[in-house]
């Protein structure tokens, strides 16, 4: 007798199958099949080992649902977060403002360093021009809120102009070094002198012999430059000159070496600059002084 037939005869009176699974009388529900499927995946991926106690996934899911936040609790949490955002928003605004001024200072420092390096590397004269325009108006409109800087160099390595008769530099004798540099939300300002000679803070920084921007340059230059002379978009009335030796010469009444010179900037709100307080040249809030020496042309930043 074949084993299969013997098995059929022995179970003819009714018996319980030894095979794993569910009987025909009690079909497995979809949830049971899902639990079995998840356990099989866990065993296959090694998350569970045979013989170890398993987790009732249905009960765990039910517990997670019961442990969730109620609507009232969620509203309370959202309210607390909203209050915190309102309280810390001014702090983030201050940090951004301080960051803008600091970034502007390092941008100006980079422009001065570029002009000095170019003059020494090419054995020529370079000029850095400063122009301030109204940020709320079309470009080239004189005002407050945006600083424009330009670097030009002498084509033939000379000063181009006659030192005994300084005048506007001929644009056909200049070449442009890089593009225009524009900085938003800052204003050129003149500060009260520092109290020190070698101080490391804004208030104890060295006293300067020249500050930008009191007087206009005796040798302004335009942008763009070239031959033939193009129409001027900007005329830079405030300028710093670097010699082939890297010496920084400031045009106040004439180009002469200064021990220390300074470019001051303050933060603006659109085209509105802060009012000096409590006295002239005394500005509250974020202020930065960019100082550079005449002989070495070294640039240092002082911030308050």
Q: Can you tell me the mean pLDDT for 255-259?
A: 65
pLDDT given for residue 77 in this prediction? 87
Could you tell me the pLDDT band of residue 303, with boundaries at 50, 70 and 90?
confident
pLDDT digit string, tens, across residues 171-219: 999 999 999 999 988 999 888 888 877 778 888 888 875 544 456 788 8
Share of the chain above pLDDT 70, in %: 68
Is residue 147's pLDDT more than 90? Answer: yes
pLDDT given for residue 32 in this prediction? 63
4-18, 40-54, 62-76, 173-187: which has the highest mean pLDDT?
Answer: 173-187
* HEC profile of the chain: CCHHHHHHHHCCCCCCCCCCCCCCCCCCCHHHHHHHHHHHHHHHCCCCCCCCCCCCHHHHHHHHHHCCCCHHHHHHHHHHHHHHHHHHHHHHHHHHHHHHHHHHHHHHHHHHHHHHHHHHHHCCCEEEEEEEEECCCCCCCECCEEEEEEEEEECCCCCCCECCECCCCCHHHEEECCCCEEEEEEEEECCCCCCECCCCCCCCCECCCEEECCCCCCCCEEECCCCCCCCCCEEECEEEEECCCCCEEEECCCEEECCEEEEEEEECECCECCCCCCCCCCCCCCEEEEEEECCCCCEEEEEC
- Which segment of 49-58, 84-93, 168-177, 244-253 scores lowest on mean pLDDT? 49-58
pLDDT given for residue 50 in this prediction? 54
- Which segment of 97-106, 124-133, 171-180 scores lowest on mean pLDDT? 97-106
Could you tell me the pLDDT band of residue 95, with boundaries at 50, 70 and 90?
very low
pLDDT given for residue 150 in this prediction? 96
Q: Can you tell me the mean pLDDT for 257-284?
A: 83
Could you tell me the pLDDT band of residue 285, with boundaries at 50, 70 and 90?
confident
- Which segment of 59-68, 111-120, 244-253 scores lowest on mean pLDDT? 59-68
Dihedral sign (CA 99, 102, 104, 109): negative
Could you tell me the pLDDT band of residue 273, with boundaries at 50, 70 and 90?
confident
Closest among 66, 129, 101, 59 to 274, alpha carbons compared: 101
pLDDT given for residue 74 in this prediction? 84
State the chain's mean pLDDT as an integer. Answer: 77
Is residue 115's pLDDT more than 60? Answer: yes
Could you tell me the pLDDT band of residue 93, with boundaries at 50, 70 and 90?
very low
| Choice between 187 and 43, residue whose per-residue pLDDT is larger | 187
| Choice between 303 and 12, residue whose per-residue pLDDT is larger | 303
CA 259 to chain centre: 33
């Amino acid at each position: 007798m074949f084993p299969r037939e013997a098995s059929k005869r022995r179970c003819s009176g009714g018996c319980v199958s030894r095979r794993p699974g569910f009987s025909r009388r009690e079909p497995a529900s979809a949830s049971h099949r899902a639990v079995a499927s998840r356990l099989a995946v866990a065993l296959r991926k090694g998350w569970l080992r045979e013989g170890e106690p398993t987790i009732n996934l249905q009960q765990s899911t039910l517990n997670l649902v019961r442990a969730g936040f109620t609507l009232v609790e969620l509203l309370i949490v959202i309210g607390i977060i909203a209050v915190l955002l309102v309280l810390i928003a001014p702090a983030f605004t201050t940090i951004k403002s301080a960051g803008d001024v600091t970034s502007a200072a390092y941008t100006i420092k980079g422009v001065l360093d570029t002009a000095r390096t170019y003059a020494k590397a090419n054995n020529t004269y370079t000029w850095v021009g400063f122009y301030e325009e109204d940020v709320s108006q079309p470009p080239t409109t004189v005002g407050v809120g945006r600083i424009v800087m330009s670097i030009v160099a002498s084509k033939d390595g000379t000063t181009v102009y006659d030192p005994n008769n300084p005048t506007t530099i001929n644009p056909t004798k200049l070449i442009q070094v890089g593009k225009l540099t524009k900085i938003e939300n800052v204003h050129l300002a003149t500060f009260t002198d520092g109290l020190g000679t070698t101080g490391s803070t804004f208030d104890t920084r060295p006293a300067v012999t020249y500050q930008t921007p009191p007087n206009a340059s005796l040798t302004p230059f335009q942008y763009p430059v070239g031959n033939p002379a193009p129409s001027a978009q900007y005329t830079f009335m405030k300028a710093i000159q670097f010699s082939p030796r890297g010496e920084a010469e400031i045009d106040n009444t004439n180009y002469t070496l200064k021990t220390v010179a300074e470019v001051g900037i303050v933060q603006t709100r659109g085209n509105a600059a802060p009012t000096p307080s409590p006295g002239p040249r005394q500005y509250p809030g974020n202020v930065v002084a960019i100082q550079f020496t005449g002989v070495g042309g070294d640039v240092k930043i002082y911030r308050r």
